[in-house]
């Protein structure tokens, strides 16, 4: 069996993937991003330093080798900024960038905003980072890839063609929009020169690494429910933000993907639009948002919050083939009493067996809740002390919450998290490569 572990968010993103990629990276050799782009925001806290990454794989604070594989879309400016920031922190950059990842251009970002306006009530509330339009160009087979970016002649040839059509398209929405092709070309040529030292054929590289027993972590961006094929379409992103995306996004065949760890937040959050049946709007929502610092890393938007939805999580366990789960942000629920969990749904008097998929029907589904006693508020220092002692020191009501989740999901809980720092982690079952 290959020595690979995938870390996947089982909800709508921001489950704490970054923290656990960093945690597991302590024993890994390579960390691989395989989907999405700088729509992601992954936060890591370790040794008193807070890192926020949009593109860099989350092994960077530990100076682990990072791979941005072919399934990603890359805004070169953002990547170069992250490299610079890490260098300023005296971190060694150990990065490999796929020659076949697609490149985000300014016109993609503009189109992202214009398309959203046109979609009206079907808009997902995107991060406006050009993710959808760049993946659209990839699927239409006229996208510009990293290989083109680092070859100025190819870049010029392809950019001229793409720019012409994009300009005409943008002008349909906004007749006054104008920009200069040469400026974009010169800017991107310079990005290509700077990124060239990192560019390789990552599929070949990673397959060799897997075959020689290298310990590899796959870091999903976004969450399973935002996934293009198995998420809440159209209110999601444009990549397969789940374990299914690993193979196409890296070139590693399915039989070489090892363990799958699903990250689950103790409640639910969502940024952007779309169904959220367990959403809360009252004081409780406000308290959870503040205690969990639920504001988007990328856009700063307040995240929508609601009760944990185990019907959703079961769906995530199914499509990802999750082996074990990690429960995060349990501390952020302190002082909330009672706490609820959605265990299923009712539609027209019938109990649902699986999601009806169409957002218009999900709208009419009524959550069925199980109610729990909450636990008292504690200071950060107290949570730190509890983490040091371990599981037995957790509040009794939290233990009931954790054990009930495990029973309902019929899935082992590998770790629980009671604070953002690497140390604020309690291991219940070792996850080994
Ligand atoms: P990701 O996108 O899945 O990597 O998650 P984000 O980093 O966007 O959002 C998770 C936020 O919660 C980050 O600010 C983390 O530092 C923080 N976090 C992670 N685990 C915990 C936890 O157990 N408790 C608290 N209070 N914060 C956590
Ligand atoms: P991480 O990796 C939460 C959401 C956006 C929007 C939809 C589509 O930090 O968990 P896009 O810009 O991708 O076209 O937006 O997806 N979204 C995220 N929500 N966490 C993320 O990433 C997200 N990336 C995209 O808010 O609803
Ligand atoms: Mg995030």
Specify whether the CB–CB gap between 116 and 126 falls below 8 A. Answer: yes
Query: Residue 296 — very low, low, confident or very high, per pLDDT cuts 50/70/90?
Result: confident
Q: What does the alpha-carbon distance between residue 112 and residue 130 come to, in Å, rounded to a whole number?
A: 5
357 pLDDT more than 80: no
Statement: residue 162 has pLDDT above 80:
yes
Which residue CA neighbors atom 2 of ligand 1 most closely? 14
368/344 Cα distance (integer angstroms)? 5
**What pLDDT was estimated at residue 24?**
98
Average pLDDT for 283-310: 94
The residue whose CA has the least distance to atom 1 of ligand 1 is 14
| Atom number in ligand 1 closest to CA 50 | 16
Q: What CA–CA distances, in Å, run from 416 to 210, 292, 302?
A: 29, 15, 25
Q: Point out the catalytic residue in the list 22, 29, 42, 286.
A: 42
Kindly state if the Cβ of 14 falls inside 6 Å of ligand 2: yes
Confidence of residue 257 (pLDDT cuts 50, 70, 90): very high
**Which residues are CB-neighbours of 137 under 8 A, at least 6 positions away?**
102, 108, 143, 144, 162
CA of 126 to the centre of ligand 3 (A): 13
Q: Give me the count of residues in the chain.
A: 433
Provide mean pLDDT across the span 67-83.
98
Q: How confident is the model at residue 297 (pLDDT cuts 50, 70, 90)?
A: confident
Look at residue 298 in the predicted model and tell me its pLDDT. 82
Of ligand 1's listed atoms, the one at least distance from the Cα of 9 is: 3
Q: What share of the chain is helix, strand, coil (3-state, %, to 5)?
A: 40, 20, 40
Using alpha carbons only, how large is the chain's radius of gyration in Å? 22
Read off the pLDDT of residues 299-319 as tens digits, 9 standing for 90 and up. Answer: 888 999 999 999 999 999 999
Question: Residue 136 has what pLDDT?
Answer: 98
Q: What is the per-residue pLDDT for 283?
A: 95
- pLDDT averaged over every residue in the chain: 96
Beta bridge partners of 66: 31, 95
- 31 versus 296: the higher-pLDDT residue is 31
Q: Which H or E element spans position 82?
A: helix 76-88
Tell me the mean pLDDT in the region 212-237: 97
Helix (H, G, I), strand (E, B) or coil at 73: strand
The rounded distance, in Å, linking the Cα atoms of 376 and 395 is: 8
CA–CA separation, 19 and 41 (whole Å): 11
């Amino acid at each position: 069996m290959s020595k690979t572990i995938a870390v996947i968010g089982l909800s709508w993103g921001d489950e704490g993937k970054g923290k656990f990629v960093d945690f597991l990276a302590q024993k890994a050799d390579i960390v691989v991003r395989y989907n999405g782009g700088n729509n992601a925001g992954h936060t890591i806290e370790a040794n008193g330093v807070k890192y926020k990454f949009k593109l860099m794989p989350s092994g960077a604070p530990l100076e682990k080798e990072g791979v941005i594989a072919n399934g990603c879309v890359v805004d070169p400016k953002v990547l170069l900024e992250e490299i610079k920031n890490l260098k300023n922190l005296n971190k060694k950059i150990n990065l490999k960038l796929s020659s076949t990842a697609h490149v985000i251009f300014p016109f993609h970002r503009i189109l992202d905003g214009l398309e959203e306006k046109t979609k009206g009530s079907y808009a997902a509330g995107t991060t406006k980072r050009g993710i959808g339009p760049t993946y659209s160009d990839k699927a239409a087979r006229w996208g510009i890839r990293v290989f083109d970016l680092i070859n100025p002649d190819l870049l010029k040839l392809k950019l001229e063609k793409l720019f012409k059509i994009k300009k005409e398209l943008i002008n349909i929405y906004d007749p006054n929009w104008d920009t200069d092709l040469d400026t974009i070309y010169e800017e991107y040529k310079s990005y290509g020169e700077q990124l060239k030292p990192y560019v390789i054929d990552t599929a070949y590289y990673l397959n060799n690494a897997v075959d020689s027993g290298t310990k590899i972590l796959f870091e999903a961006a976004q969450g399973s429910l935002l996934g293009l094929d198995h998420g809440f379409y159209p209110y999601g992103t444009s990549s397969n933000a789940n374990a299914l995306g690993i193979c196409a996004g890296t070139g590693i065949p399915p039989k070489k993907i090892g363990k799958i760890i699903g990250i689950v937040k103790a409640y639910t959050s969502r940024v952007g639009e779309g169904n959220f049946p367990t959403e809360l709007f009252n004081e409780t929502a406000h308290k959870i948002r503040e205690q969990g610092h639920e504001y988007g890393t990328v856009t700063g938007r307040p995240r929508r919050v609601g009760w944990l939805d185990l019907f959703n999580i079961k769906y995530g366990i199914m499509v990802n083939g999750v082996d074990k789960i990690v429960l995060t942000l349990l501390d952020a629920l302190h002082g909330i009493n009672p706490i609820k969990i959605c265990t299923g749904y009712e539609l027209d008097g019938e109990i649902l067996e699986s999601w009806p998929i169409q957002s218009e029907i999900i709208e009419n589904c009524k959550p069925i809740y199980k109610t729990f006693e909450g636990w008292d508020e504690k200071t950060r220092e107290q949570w730190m002390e509890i983490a040091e002692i371990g599981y037995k020191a957790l509040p009794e009501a939290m233990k009931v919450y954790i054990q009930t989740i495990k029973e309902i999901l019929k899935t082992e809980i590998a770790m629980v998290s009671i604070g953002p720092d690497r140390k604020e982690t309690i291991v219940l079952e070792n996850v080994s490569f």
